Amino acid sequence: MHILWFRRDLRLSDNESVARATAKAALVLPCFIIDPWFYEQPEVGKARVRFLFESLENLEKNLRSNSSQLYLFEGNSVDILQQLTQQLIQLGHRPKLYFNRDVQVEYGVSRDRAIANFYQQLNLECHIGLNNFLQTDDDRRDKWFDEYYTYVRQSPHLKPIHINTPQLSFNLPLVTFTELKQKYSHFYETKRVYFKGGETQAFSTLNSFLTKRFHGYHWKLSKPWLAQQKATSHLSPHLAFGTISVRTVYQSTKARARELADQPKAEFSLKAFRDRLRWHDSFTQRLYFHPEIAYTNRYPEFDEYYRPDELTSSQQELFHAWCEGLTGFPMVDASMRQLKTMGWMNFRMRAMCATFLTINCGISWHYGARHYMNYLVDGDLAIDNWQWQMQAGITNPLSETFRIYNPNKNIEEKDSDLRFIYHWIPKLLGYSLPEILQGKYIEHGLYPPPILDWSKTRLVNGKIVSDIRKRVRERLLANGGDELENAIAAKTTVEKYFESKDKQYKQFQEKEFLS
């Protein structure tokens, strides 16, 4: 009996554990465990839990079409799997467990280790596969780039045609999907669902993107209104829950690019998208080797400035205004309101709002990272918390400068027609771009004035962060060692990436492809 344990890989296509567990017509028990740990975390929001439940329901439907079913258990994952294994042994089976590695949180890592040790003690087999590319050998880090592309170009695991699942009864807490919706009805309370879960929906979203929506991706992805209107792929929550594999997306995109080989502009957009797929997986890889970055500063020098301490009364006011989209900075407020409503923002606005909270408001990234994870339907700990540290000025200390986004400048560059701002802040309808930049709306009391002086806080708090970065840089250069090598490698990677992007954009501009 093969136990097929699903986690963040809620799909049948290109799934290593599914392919191996169902081979040779073996008896397979597909299961998912609703572990209370997941939805009791302060960083888990309703949109993400609902997306998970929708994905499970679709997985059950797809399994049913293959003559199988999903056994939905509820309880502590380690306890459930131990009891399930023991009960199968009592029924005369010799279980073998299949699951794909999960590196998102330390709880998951320790949980998987406990399960693997339990199977080893019983002298039972346990196969741990890959959900997407992950390099587990520390000595091969410098080969990550090459090995990543080797992996995404390999033939995907075939989707099973038939899954041989017996009807069994267990003395364990099983849940039906009807009971699931009743018990967790508060996760279904959102008025509108912007991102629907499930493998079927993932493929539909990918196909619509590659059919038409990808055009202009390379410049539309930074425009919040266009991104909201699905100019970006909108696959991020599907990648987070594994309802589709990165390899499937990569190869489908590559195939579409070959079809459009005579359209350089379209091919360039698809290349930019594939670059983002690699960028996505690089964060998972970083978290695997540095799990501490999910909650601690990358460099200890920043512990004196960025701490998850209780906020002062003035900081609480700033944080509340930021969370509710009431800062008096229209681009920040529109983005934060979008986050609360849609559970999503495009990357540029996430970065802008992050620097506003950490640099201008002087509030630790820990608070912002948790707020994002409370609402993001595509919340990915590996990306979210590292990016918060990056926008807070912590990472890449060998560079003498770091970026602080100007909210007003972003209106001019990314929303000059004000469609994004008008949509999320209707009180500003009728004001022109110059009037909004000049703050004319403040005179009429329709919208709150700025909660801080952006230029002043940029200089004061920016200098504090810059000075700490200088101390980190001096220590690394003085001490050398692995930490310096990692910092140099990170700086080189970032510089090479942006140099290549700048060169590519310049070439296209010269050919007037961006007209």
Count Cα atoms within 13 angstroms, Cβ side, for 421: 25
Quote the pLDDT of residue 4: 98
Round to whole Å and give the CA distance between 35 and 84: 15
**CA distances for 268 relative to 116, 145, 214, 218, 297, angstroms:** 44, 20, 10, 8, 36
Whether the CB-CB separation of 62 and 200 falls below 8 Å is answered with: yes
Whether the CB-CB separation of 250 and 69 falls below 8 Å is answered with: no
Round to whole Å and give the CA distance between 3 and 396: 43
Indicate whether 427 pLDDT > 70. yes
Furthest-apart CA atoms within the chain: distance in Å: 79
Round to whole Å and give the CA distance between 52 and 75: 16
Supply φ then ψ for residue 29, to 5 degrees: -115, 95
The enclosing H or E element of 470 equals helix 454-479
Round to whole Å and give the CA distance between 115 and 138: 23
Does the annotation flag 378 for ligand binding?
Answer: yes
Indicate whether 515 pLDDT > 70. no
Round to whole Å and give the CA distance between 471 and 453: 27
Does the annotation flag 273 for ligand binding?
Answer: yes
Indicate whether 294 pLDDT > 90. no
Residue 115: pLDDT band (50, 70, 90) is very high
Round to whole Å and give the CA distance between 79 and 93: 19
Quote the pLDDT of residue 110: 85
Indicate whether 496 pLDDT > 70. no
Cβ partners under 8 Å of residue 476, min gap 6: 397, 398, 483, 484, 487
Does the annotation flag 236 for ligand binding?
Answer: yes
Quote the pLDDT of residue 493: 56
**What digits encode the pLDDT tens for the residues 58-82?**
999 999 999 999 999 999 999 999 9
Residue 189: pLDDT band (50, 70, 90) is confident
Round to whole Å and give the CA distance between 493 and 107: 30
Whether the CB-CB separation of 471 and 393 falls below 8 Å is answered with: no
Indicate whether 509 pLDDT > 80. no
Percentage, residues of the chain above pLDDT 90: 77
Dihedral sign from CA coordinates of 248, 250, 251, 253: positive
To which residue do tokens 């954009």 refer? 505
Quote the pLDDT of residue 506: 45
SS3 call for 4: strand
Considering only CA atoms, which of 307, 306, 357 is closest in space to residue 465? 306
Does the annotation flag 232 for ligand binding?
Answer: yes
Lowest mean pLDDT among 244-248, 333-337, 484-488, 509-513: 509-513
Round to whole Å and give the CA distance between 405 and 380: 22
Quote the pLDDT of residue 500: 52
Residue 142: pLDDT band (50, 70, 90) is confident
Average pLDDT of the residues in 408-412: 97
Does the annotation flag 379 for ligand binding?
Answer: yes
Round to whole Å and give the CA distance between 353 and 357: 6
Mean of the per-residue pLDDT values for the chain?
91
Lowest mean pLDDT among 269-273, 366-370, 379-383: 379-383
Tokens standing for residue 276: 């983002």
Does the annotation flag 452 for ligand binding?
Answer: no
Quote the pLDDT of residue 429: 95
Does the annotation flag 233 for ligand binding?
Answer: yes
Round to whole Å and give the CA distance between 497 and 483: 21
Average pLDDT of the residues in 426-434: 95
Indicate whether 170 pLDDT > 70. yes
Indicate whether 512 pLDDT > 60. no
Kindly compute the dihedral angle of the four CA atoms of residues 43, 288, 359, 409, in this order, to the nearest 10 degrees: -100
Residue type, 267: E
Whether the CB-CB separation of 180 and 59 falls below 8 Å is answered with: no
Quote the pLDDT of residue 490: 65
**Higher pLDDT pick, 264 / 140:** 264
**Higher pLDDT pick, 282 / 515:** 282
User: With helix as H, strand as E and coil as C, how does 103-137 read?
Assistant: CCCHHHHHHHHHHHHHHHHCCCCEEEECCCCCCCC
Average pLDDT of the residues in 169-182: 92
Round to whole Å and give the CA distance between 159 and 154: 15
Indicate whether 13 pLDDT > 80. yes
Considering only CA atoms, which of 393, 384, 307 is closest in space to residue 356? 393
Round to whole Å and give the CA distance between 440 and 409: 17
**CA distances for 452 relative to 263, 346, 359, 369, angstroms:** 47, 25, 12, 21
Indicate whether 460 pLDDT > 50. yes
Round to whole Å and give the CA distance between 223 and 423: 14
From the centroid of its chain, how far is CA 78?
26
From the centroid of its chain, how far is CA 293?
15
The enclosing H or E element of 33 equals strand 28-34
Percentage, residues of the chain above pLDDT 70: 93
Indicate whether 511 pLDDT > 90. no
**What digits encode the pLDDT tens for the residues 204-225?**
999 999 999 999 999 999 999 9
Supply φ then ψ for residue 299, to 5 degrees: -125, 130
